[in-house]
């Protein structure tokens, strides 16, 4: 949610994905989506390309069968794109200096030594460490507040802080922290459930996940499908009941 990673031009048209799509009998769009999920997870984990998301979690987001996603992952591994739950050649394309924390450390260090070039937009600019680092990024990007290693054990205490305006987060319960734009997007994506209630109920479970920001939407997607199916079942039963022939009154004589 808060980490940057490099998306290189040509990713969507990379012929390797066409081969993965053909061999796994999936669409190119689905293959590219799965690849982006892996890149986002690797960026969040931040351990040299290791990703924590699995086929089941991606399938929940895509609303498809786990076996379909697993077939894509298998073909990606066969093609050398993945190895041992890591994105191949991650270190060659992603740089430690891309992280906001490292940029902010350098910015503060230069500021302590009286180097004002990083804050000047019209004057000289400190040369970037990598080809995409700019003075604006150095001056404006602040590292996010670290999430707690363990969730709060008392969900009532956690839920009591889930009040808009209590912090810079619109919703906060244990490790689950959402800004207002993210909360509203999730609320629109899962219209058949009470998002605030579901997130509060998932607080303890989310704290046990390697990457809650990927795991929680998967769990919400399952709840959304269950709620949608239950609503549809109720509608069909109500329709069948309304269309059923009414019993004739007792003692009826034609």
Q: What is the pLDDT of residues 149-190, one digit of tens each?
A: 444 444 444 444 444 444 688 999 999 999 988 899 999 988
State the pLDDT at residue 243: 83
Query: Which pLDDT tens digit goes with each residue over 37-90?
Result: 999 998 888 888 899 999 999 999 998 999 999 999 999 999 999 999 999 888
Phi then psi for 173, rounded to 5 degrees? -150, 105
- Spatial CA neighbour of 221 closest among 79, 62, 107: 62
């Amino acid at each position: 949610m808060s980490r940057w990673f490099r998306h290189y031009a040509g990713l969507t048209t990379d012929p390797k994905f066409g081969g993965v799509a053909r061999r796994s009998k999936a669409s190119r769009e689905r293959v590219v989506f799965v690849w982006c999920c892996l890149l986002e997870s690797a960026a969040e984990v931040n351990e040299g390309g290791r990703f924590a998301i699995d086929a089941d979690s991606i399938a929940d987001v895509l609303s498809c069968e786990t076996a379909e996603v697993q077939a894509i992952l298998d073909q990606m591994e066969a093609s050398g794109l993945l190895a041992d739950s890591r994105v191949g050649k991650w270190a060659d394309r992603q740089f430690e200096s891309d992280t906001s924390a490292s940029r902010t450390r350098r910015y503060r260090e230069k500021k302590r030594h009286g180097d004002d070039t990083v804050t000047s937009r019209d004057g000289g600019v400190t040369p970037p460490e990598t080809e995409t680092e700019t003075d604006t990024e150095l001056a404006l990007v602040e590292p996010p507040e670290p999430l707690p290693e363990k969730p709060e054990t008392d969900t009532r205490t956690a839920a009591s802080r889930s009040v808009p305006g209590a912090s810079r987060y619109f919703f906060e319960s244990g490790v689950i922290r959402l800004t207002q734009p993210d909360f509203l997007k999730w609320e629109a994506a899962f219209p058949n459930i009470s998002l605030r209630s579901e997130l509060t109920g998932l607080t303890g479970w989310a704290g046990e996940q390697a990457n809650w920001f990927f795991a929680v939407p998967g769990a919400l997607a399952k709840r959304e499908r269950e709620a949608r199916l239950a609503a549809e079942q109720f509608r069909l039963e109500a329709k069948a009941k309304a269309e059923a022939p009414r019993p004739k009154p007792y003692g009826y004589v034609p």
